[in-house]
Structure 1
Amino acid sequence: MLALRSCLKKALAPRALATQVCSSFTTGPRQTEGIFYEFCTYYLKPSKMKEFLHNFKKRVHLRTAHSELVGYWSVDFGGRTDRVFHIWKYDNFAHRTAVYKALANNKEWQEQFFIPNLTSIDKQETEIVYLVPWCKIGKPPKKGVYELVTFLMKPGGPALWGDAFERAVNAHENQDYATLIGVFHTEYGTLNRVHVLWWMENADVRAAGRHRSHDDSRVVSTVRESVNYLDIQQNMLLIPEPFSPLK
């Protein structure tokens, strides 16, 4: 019997080890519904930026007739400022395909906005992202400014760094240093990238809250834990356009 137990232990050991190794590469819990968001960044020619935004404001209804616009911002600082950043919501990938097909066949959209403004765009970047399972899209209490904080985490996915990252975000949110709008995990684009969108009344309120958080031991301890999994962080201050649903 002892010999049998010994043989079973040896036989099962590699299988247990394989399970343990595989689990460290899983992505962790995800949203179960098909809803995802498209992050679009347009790099515009500086001389064309005002004209581009004016034209989009006049014809935004042609675009929003097909899918939901979450928010539309210009970049105030944090890298190149000749950019607009916008977020679109889709039910699933079939929905997105149908939207782009409808826009391609929409003569008014093509002739009045898309084709005339192609020369205003230097470069376009697109990411497909999901909300993390513990977050829903928030709503700002009033008009203000936004900060998009982008984290490039170490490979391994949320199963590796998700819990620590959640604690760090919630520590800032729970102490009212800023209002959380959404936390998004990239599915198509640079992987292991997480975007956190915050709202604040203005840039000075943001600066004051950041200084206070640096002296808050509850925040500092969670951030120190999370940065063990961090490679790169980038912060951008965003100004909502008048037609943006998120003001």
Structure 2
Amino acid sequence: MYLQCGPLSMVSKRLAFSPLLQSLNQTSINPMLVRTLSKSSKDSEDSTLESTPTQGSASVKSMFNSILRGAPNKEGNEPEELSVTYSKLMARGKYVHELQVHNVKPEAMDDYIALTAEHYPRIGKDQGSEVKLFGSWTTEIGELDQAIHIWQYNHYPGYIQTKKILAQDQVYQDFQRRLRPMLRSRENQIMLEFAFWKSATAVTLPKEPSKNSIYELRTYLLQPGKMLEWEQQWRRGLEARSKFVQPIGAWFSQLGHLNYVHHMWAYPDLQVRKEMREKAWEVEGWSQTVHKTVQLIDHMQARIVTPLPYSPSN
């Protein structure tokens, strides 16, 4: 009874598991003895706390810093320093890419394709332009009535300059006014290329791409703070995949929704995709890569997309 109540209940509960009290419980317990033992333990605990007055507060402070700012690494570097280092370590550093996702009204899809075909190819064709259209697709498997565009800028100065030019371009502004009523919603992300995977103009597209070629855009939402670990594990296993299929590009989000990874592959059709993925599992190291990286992911999405007629990837 004395072990279950009162201000010393927590201490008493710990004492209940001591050999001494277990022995006493087997016979008869003297209430005065229990209270004496509890008081002795409490005094000892108070003495320990008094000898290290800052230990508890330091622990609490460390816990809140970890929640709000992320835990330091093994070398003790601050999280802010590491976040900068991660981008420098992972990013190719040559381009900035913008991912645009347009969710189109089903009844407006044909008009949408015709309108973007009229305006998107001309953007970036001017001499000295800081932007190029990397590719444009519509979703075949995934969220339907969706268009995906990837733009390539000469890093942030190129992005800033392009936005200034387009803001003063009356033809482009008229295009935007005609475009908006066709959309249910839209969003974008600023992405950086992974250093180990050169996309953009350096990418090798299929030598004779079929009109029926498909592209797979895979999107992963990683757990916060796991980006570098994912990159290191996935880079090791990429060799197994690239033996059978040429990667188109791989990026991680920098602005917009964070902790996202996107990578794209090209296949002649879904059957070939199936066969190539199965072959990759036969290569040593790929299964280990999947096992380690999947633990770092909160959400996964695989979209099959087909290039629009005006897309450079077509």
TM-score, with length taken from structure 2: 0.66
1:71 aligns with one of 135, 148, 159 = 135
Share of identical aligned residues, percent? Answer: 23
Residue 157 of structure 1 deviates from its aligned partner by 4.2
SS at 2:162 equivalent? helix
Q: What amino acid is aligned across from residue 294 of structure 2 in structure 1?
A: V
Retained in 1: the 8 A contact 2:92–2:196? no
1:183 aligns with one of 236, 246, 250 = 250
Retained in 1: the 8 A contact 2:121–2:133? no
Equivalents in 2 of 1:152, 1:241: separation in Å?
26
Equivalents in 1 of 2:75, 2:116: separation in Å?
51
Equivalents in 1 of 2:250, 2:179: separation in Å?
31
2:155 pairs with 1:95: no
Equivalents in 1 of 2:96, 2:154: separation in Å?
7
Equivalent position of 1:155 in the other structure: 224
Q: Which has the higher contact order (CA 8 A, sep 6+)?
A: 1
1:22 aligns with one of 48, 57, 77 = 77
Instruction: Please report the RMSD computed on the Cα atoms of aligned residues, expressed in angstroms.
Output: 2.2
1:140 aligns with one of 178, 198, 205 = 205
SS at 1:22 equivalent? coil
SS at 2:197 equivalent? coil
Retained in 2: the 8 A contact 1:70–1:88? yes
Equivalent position of 2:114 in the other structure: 54
Equivalents in 1 of 2:300, 2:282: separation in Å?
20
Unaligned runs of 5+ in 1: 1-16
Equivalents in 2 of 1:98, 1:148: separation in Å?
28
Question: Are the structure 2 counterparts of residues 159 and 210 from structure 1 closer, same or farther at C-alpha, using a change threshold of 3 Å?
Answer: closer
2:168 pairs with 1:85: no
Equivalents in 2 of 1:190, 1:23: separation in Å?
23
2:188 aligns with one of 115, 126, 151 = 126
Retained in 1: the 8 A contact 2:93–2:193? no
- Higher Cα Rg, which structure: 2
Equivalents in 2 of 1:23, 1:222: separation in Å?
28
Residue 70 of structure 1 deviates from its aligned partner by 0.3
Retained in 1: the 8 A contact 2:92–2:198? no
Equivalent position of 1:246 in the other structure: 313
Q: Deviations over 1:57-92 (max 9, x none)?
A: 1233432335200000001112x1111001001112
Question: Are the structure 2 counterparts of residues 109 and 190 from structure 1 closer, same or farther at C-alpha, using a change threshold of 3 Å?
Answer: closer
Q: Is the strand fraction higher in 1 or 2?
A: 1
Equivalents in 2 of 1:132, 1:61: separation in Å?
26
Aligned residue-pair number? 227
2:173 aligns with one of 110, 128, 131 = 110
Residue 241 of structure 1 deviates from its aligned partner by 0.7
Retained in 2: the 8 A contact 1:139–1:246? no
Q: What amino acid is aligned across from residue 309 of structure 2 in structure 1?
A: P
Retained in 2: the 8 A contact 1:136–1:182? yes
Question: Are the structure 2 counterparts of residues 88 and 221 from structure 1 closer, same or farther at C-alpha, using a change threshold of 3 Å?
Answer: same
Residue 153 of structure 1 deviates from its aligned partner by 1.8
Unaligned runs of 5+ in 2: 1-71
Equivalent position of 1:14 in the other structure: none
